[in-house]
Amino acid sequence: MFVFIIRRLLQMIPVLLGVTFVVFLIMQMVPGDAALLVAGEGASDEQVEAIREELGLNRPLIIQYIDYVGNVIQGDLGTSIRTDRPVLDEIMVRLPITIELAFWSIVITIALGVFAGVIAATKQNSFSDVGLMIVSLIGVSLPNFWLGLMLIIYFSVELGWFPVAGWGSFAHIILPALTLGTGGAAIVARMTRSSMLEVIRQDYIRTAKAKGVRQRLIIYKHALKNALIPVITVVGLQFGALLGGTVLTESVFAINGVGRLIIDAIRMRDLPLVQGSILFVSVIFVIVNMVVDISYRMLNKRVDLN
On the question of pLDDT at 78 being above 80, the answer is no
Segment 41-58 shows an average pLDDT of 70
Do 224 and 213 touch, CB atoms closer than 8 A?
A: no
Other CB atoms within a 10 A radius of the CB of residue 122 amount to: 19
pLDDT in tens, 91-110: 888 888 888 888 888 888 88
**Least confident range of 13-22, 23-32, 65-74, 165-174:** 23-32
pLDDT in tens, 239-260: 766 766 677 777 788 888 887 8
pTM assigned to the model? 0.74
User: Mean pLDDT for the chain?
Assistant: 77
Segment 291-301 shows an average pLDDT of 65
- Using pLDDT thresholds of 50, 70 and 90, give the confidence band for residue 87: confident
Q: Can you give the residue ranges of every domain in the chain?
A: 2-73, 102-267
Residue 33 has a pLDDT of 65
On the question of pLDDT at 181 being above 60, the answer is yes
Residue 304 has a pLDDT of 54
Give the CATH class of 102-267: mainly alpha
Percentage of the residues of the chain whose pLDDT score is greater than 90:
0
Segment 179-191 shows an average pLDDT of 81
